[in-house]
Chains A and B, each alone.
Chain A
Amino acid sequence: MADFTPYRVVLRSRMRAQLQYRTSFVTDVVGTLGVGLTELAEVLVIFHNVDVLGGLDFSAALLVFALSNVCFSVADMLVGHLDQLPTYIRAGTIDAFYVRPLPLLAQFMASDISLRRIGRLSVALGALGVALSIGDIAWSAATVAIIVLTLVSGTAIFAALFTAAGGLQFYVVDGAELTNAFTYGGAYAAQQPQRVFPDLLRIFWTFVVPTAFIAYLPAVAILDLPGDHLAPSWLAWFTPLAAVLAWLLAAGCWRAGTRHYQGAGG
C-alpha cells in the first residue's frame, strides 16, 4: 500500500511558505491572472476580425483555448517547477534529492507547488464554462466522459512534457530555452485550431508530441464537428492512450537524465 505521507508533509510546508507572505502571494496570483486574460484576449481579438479560424467558429475556438489552458495551468501548478532543474543541477543542490529515500521524480514534483498559477487557472475555467454553455453541444454521457477524460489526460500530457524536458536538462544544462520550446511551445500548439498548421506539423503535434489530443481533437468530438483526415472525431477517444505514451517517453527521458547527472563539483 502506497503511503503518501512524505509528499503530503512536504507539500503542506511548501504551501504554508507561499501563503505566509500574503501580499506577495496576492500580487503573484494577480500576475498569472493577467497572463491568462492576455491569452484570452488574443482569441477575442482574432475573432473580432474573422468568423472562422482553421474551421472553428468562436465558440469552438474558445473551447480549444479553455481545455488546453485548464490542463496547462493545472500541470504547470503541479510540476511546472521542473523547469527550475538547471538551477538545482548547476548549484549541485540536487544532490540532496539523491540522498533521500524517495524516487527522484516524485520528490521533485512534491518539492514545490505553484499556487499562484491559480490566477491563470481561474481564467481558463471561466472560459471553459462559457465555451460549454454557448457551444452547440448535444449533451450525452459520452460528451461528459470525453470532457473528463480530456481534462485528466491533457493535464497528464502537459506534465509529461515538463518531465521529459526536465530529463533533457541533465544533458543540456544551459538548454532551458530548448526545453521551454517543448513545454510552452506545446502549450501554444495545443490551443490552436490544428488546421491552421501544415499537415507535417499537425502530424508532429498529434503523433510525436501529442498536444492535439489535449484540446483540438476533444473539441471536434464534443461539438460533433466533421473533422478531417488528420482529425477524425473518434480520435478524441485515444486521448488517454496518448497520455500513457507521453508518460512512457517522459519517464524514459527522466530516467536517462538522472542517471546521466554529472555532478557539480565541490
Chain B
Amino acid sequence: MTRPDHDAPTSPTGQAGPIIEVTNLVRDYGGLGRKSRRVRAVDHISFGIQPGEAVGYIGANGAGKSTTIKLLMGILRPTAGQVRTCGLDPMRRRIDVARQVGVVFGQRSQLWWDLPLRESFTILAAIHRLDPAAARDRTARLVDELEMGGQLATPVRSLSLGQRMRAEIAAALLHSPRLLVLDEPTIGLDVLSKQRLREFLVEERRERGTTLLLTTHDMGDVERLCSRVLVVDHGRLAYDGTLPGLAATVGAERLLVIDLAEPTRPLQDVPGARLVAVESDGLRQRLAFDGARTTAAAVLTEVSRRATIRDLAVEEPDIEDVVRRIYASSAGQR
C-alpha cells in the first residue's frame, strides 16, 4: 500500500481559520412542481478543512458529493445550514471565492470547446486578470509539468480524455488558487494517465501547499493524494478521519501471507487469525486478522510454534472493500 502524502504544508497565505467550513448543510432538489419529488441530496453535513489539507470526499453514486461542491462554490443555494469557503459565504461572495479556488468538474469541460487549447489559457488568464508576463510563465510551467506542449494548438474538442483532463487541471491551477477542488478528475483515465496526474498533484501540493478537496471512485487517488477522507452516504457524513482509521472502523482485516519451509497442514487453529487460503500444498498460507484485536507479531508467534516460517508479507486491507462495507452497513440500516 502506498503511503498517503502526510506532510501537509501550512497555508502560504497566512489567512487564519479553516479554508472550508460547512455546518449542518442541507440541500434539497425539486419539490417545487407538483410532479417532482423532493430529493435530499445533502443531509446535515458538517466538517471543516484547514489550509494545506488534502481531503478525499468519497461516496457511492448519488451520495451528494457533487452537490456539496456546488454548494461550496455558490453554484447552488443551501436549503439550510451554512457554508464558508475561504472564509466567505459563496452565495454572497461568489466572485471573491472564485478568485481563490480552482475547480474541475471531471464530467464536463470548462475549456472553450472549439478553440485551440492555448486560447483557453489566454482567456482564463484574462478572466482572472493575471499579469500577462506572470500568466505566460505560469502557463508554460503547467504545460511543461503536465506534458501538454504538443496539444496547445489542438482544439479542445479533439483532445483525448486524458489530455483534456490534464488541460482542465492546468486551467484550474492557472491563477494559483489556495484551494483546488476536483470532482472526479480521474474518471475514465487509463492507469498510466491516472498515475501521472497523481504525481503532478503531489508535486504541485508539495511546492505550493495548495489545499485539495477531491471526489473520486478510485481509491488509488485517495491513497496517493489524501491524508484524510470524508465518506458521504445518502447525503450524510458517515466517516471523517484517516484512511487507516477508516479500515479500523469497519473492522477490516489485515492479511498475513506466510511462506513456510515445507508443505504444512492448513493452519486453521491459530488464535486471533482466520485461515483464508492454502496454496502449493500448504507451502503458502494466507491468514486474516483484525488489527484492533491482535498484532501481526502475536499471530506469527503462534504460527512459528506450528511450522518454520521462510518468508512473510503483510497486506493492508483493500480500501475499496472497506468502503463497500461502509455502504453495505448503512444500506442495512435503512
Contacts and interface: CB of A to CB of B under 8 A. Distances in A.
A13 interface: yes
A99 B101 contact: yes
Nearest to B95: A101
Given A92-B108, A263-B29, A99 B73 contact: yes
A10 B126 CA distance: 8
Contacts of A13: 112, 115, 119, 122-123
Contact of A9 (B66, B94, B107, B126): B126
A262 B29 CA distance: 7
Contacts, number: 78
A93 B98 contact: no
Contacts of A103: 95
Chain B contact residues, majority secondary structure: mixed
Interface string B101-128: 1010101111010110001001110111
B114 A17 contact: yes
A235 interface: no
B284 to A, nearest CB: 45
A140 interface: no
Contacts of A260: 77
B299 interface: no
A9 B120 CA distance: 10
Contacts of B110: 95-96, 99
B103 A6 contact: no
Contacts of A234: none
A51 interface: no
A3 interface: yes
A93 B108 contact: yes
B185 interface: no
Nearest to B36: A262
Given A6-B126, A9-B122, A98 B77 contact: no
A102 interface: yes
Contact of B105 (A8, A95, A102, A262): A95
A100 interface: yes
Contacts of B29: 262-263
Contacts of A91: 108
A266 B108 contact: yes
A261 B119 CA distance: 29
B37 interface: no
Contacts of A6: 123, 126-127, 129
B75 interface: yes
Contact of B98 (A3, A17, A99): A99
Contacts of B109: 93, 96
Contact of B127 (A93, A100, A261, A262): A100
A21 to B, nearest CB: 10
Given A91-B108, A259-B91, A263-B67, A98 B128 contact: no
B209 interface: no
A5 interface: yes
Contacts of B101: 99
A15 to B, nearest CB: 12
B74 interface: yes
Given A99-B110, A103-B95, A10 B74 contact: no
Contacts of B123: 6, 9-10, 13
Contacts of B30: 262
Interface in A74-122: 91-93, 95-96, 98-103
Contacts of B127: 6, 9-10, 100-102
A232 to B, nearest CB: 44
A156 B77 CA distance: 30
B82 to A, nearest CB: 17
Contact of A98 (B94, B107, B108): B94
Nearest to B101: A99
B95 A99 contact: no
Nearest to A262: B29
Contacts of B103: 99
A97 B122 CA distance: 16
Contacts of A259: 77, 91
B136 interface: no
Interface of A: 3, 5-6, 8-10, 13, 17, 91-93, 95-96, 98-103, 259-263, 265-266
Which 4 residue pairs spanning A and B have beta carbons closest together?
A9-B126, A96-B110, A101-B98, A98-B75
11 contacts: A8-B126, A13-B115, A95-B108, A98-B74, A98-B98, A100-B124, A101-B96, A101-B99, A101-B127, A263-B76, A266-B105
Given A10-B127, A93-B109, A262-B76, 6 more contacts: A5-B129, A17-B114, A102-B95, A262-B29, A263-B29, A266-B105
Interface of B: 29-30, 66-67, 70, 73-77, 91, 94-96, 98-99, 101, 103, 105, 107-110, 112, 114-115, 119, 122-124, 126-129
